[in-house]
Amino acid sequence: MKKPIYLDNAATSFPKPPQVTEAIIHYMNEVGANPGRSGHQLSIEASRVVQHTRESLATLFHISDTKRIVFTMNVTEALNTVIYGFLNAGDNVIISAMEHNSVLRPLKHLEESDFITLTIAPCDRKGLLDIDALPALVRKNTSLLVLNHASNVCGTIQDVRAVKDVIGDIPLLLDTAQTSGCYPIDVKDDGIDFLAFTGHKGLLGPQGTGGLYIREGLNVRPLKRGGTGSISEKFQQPDFLPDALESGTQNNVGIAGLGAGVDFILNEGVNIIRKHEKGLTSALLKALHDVPGLTIYGPLDAELQTATISLTFDSILPTGPGHELGGCGAINLAWMEEGIPLDAAGDMLNSEYDIFVRIGLHCAPLAHKTLGTFPEGTVRISMGYFNTLQDMESAAKAIRNIAEK
């Protein structure tokens, strides 16, 4: 029997390190209690587990004060927490043209309610933000810039430091859904004011975990208010972190697993993980670059992207300004063919080759508009730390066979 090949790590990473499952089972069987609520031994142990995860995340992202990390269900909740809890009426927000719906939808909601104005900063056909265009977009009332660190569609990595240098004091909210755990991040060096992360992708933790780092000096109103286990005598929500933004019992089982995922990453080393994923990306790009009947989007360079590759089974280039030979990241320009529909390609990869990828818009219609792949979308192949060069060979062979059809 063929070994199934999971290439959908941009949706959620799989498999997880065994330590993650062990930590979850340990918490369920041996700890179980509610952290920060009771004074008994098991509650103290639960608090220790949760604090350990906070410390490991602080180490990973170079955060000096663990109290400034709050846990959320996922990055969507972390992003919503800042968007609804930091912005004020009349503010202007700048986003890139590569944002995910987790950013776009809450901001569009606020814009359509006439609460804020929204400015979309242009990106090129490879998904790279035009940093030179930013100064002209900044207004007196611009109070936040939200940036997708790396595209979940085609992997394009943005230069966060360069963006921060241009926007100066305007707070930067970074969506690290596709980079945390597999790309080095340093909140100080990179100039990140709010860092939103999800636990179940590169951080190798379970689904239902994530969080937010908030730089000292920035205040965020809570989305929810309720029990925190602290200053219970008061009717008002605590005003100190992390309690101010952590109402109700958290997904502590998941947080235990997330801690094990982050510890795994710290033990391996982010740079080693990045190197391995770069190797996979360049191997796949190299194997696919001369396949007739295939168009690949994005930077086409493992240095400039995460281990995510988007393609369509045709050679019909997206049209539009700024396009030049390879300028949109498309290759195989000469071969003009009627394409294979994406769902058919996805089905073939699934049923004939046991290769699991994601097709469509990947919750990022704006990014696909930027790349010229809207509304059909692309086939997205996203690798993880546990994929091998052998997997890349098998995937390339399957894709080549499909393209030849």
CA 113 to chain centre: 27
Backbone angles phi, psi at 113, to 5 degrees: -90, 10
E-strand spans in 100-256?
116-121, 142-148, 172-175, 194-198, 210-214
d(CA 91, CA 87): 7
Q: Which of residues 312-351 bind ligand PLP (CB under 6 A)?
A: none
User: Does residue 266 bind ligand PLP (CB under 6 A)?
Assistant: no
Residues near 378 by beta carbon (within 8 Å), at least 6 away in sequence:
153, 154, 297, 310, 311, 312, 342, 359, 360, 362, 368, 371
Alpha helix positions (H), 330-380: 342-353, 365-371
Q: Which of residues 352-371 bind ligand PLP (CB under 6 A)?
A: 363
User: Does residue 100 bind ligand PLP (CB under 6 A)?
Assistant: yes
Residues near 178 by beta carbon (within 8 Å), at least 6 away in sequence:
10, 148, 149, 150, 151, 152, 155, 201, 202, 306, 308
Q: Which of residues 3-62 bind ligand PLP (CB under 6 A)?
A: none
d(CA 168, CA 166): 6
Which part of the chain contacts ligand PLP (CB under 6 A), choosing from 50-58, 109-117, 174-182, 352-360?
A: 174-182
- The least CB distance from residue 343 to ligand PLP, in Å, is 19
Which part of the chain contacts ligand PLP (CB under 6 A), choosing from 39-47, 89-97, 172-180, 293-301?
A: 172-180
- The least CB distance from residue 94 to ligand PLP, in Å, is 17
Binders of ligand PLP: how many residues, by CB under 6 A? 12
Binder of ligand PLP out of 75, 83, 258, 265 (CB under 6 A): 75
> Residues 182-201 vs ligand PLP: string with x where CB under 6 A?
----------------x---
Which residue's CB is nearer to ligand PLP, number 66 or number 76? 76
Binder of ligand PLP out of 53, 148, 156, 281 (CB under 6 A): 148
Q: Do strands 91-96 and 5-6 pair parallel, antiparallel, or not at all (unpaired)?
A: unpaired
- The least CB distance from residue 103 to ligand PLP, in Å, is 7
d(CA 360, CA 34): 41
Which residue's CB is nearer to ligand PLP, number 102 or number 332? 102
Contact positions vs ligand PLP (CB under 6 A): 74-76, 100, 102, 148, 152, 175, 177-178, 198, 363
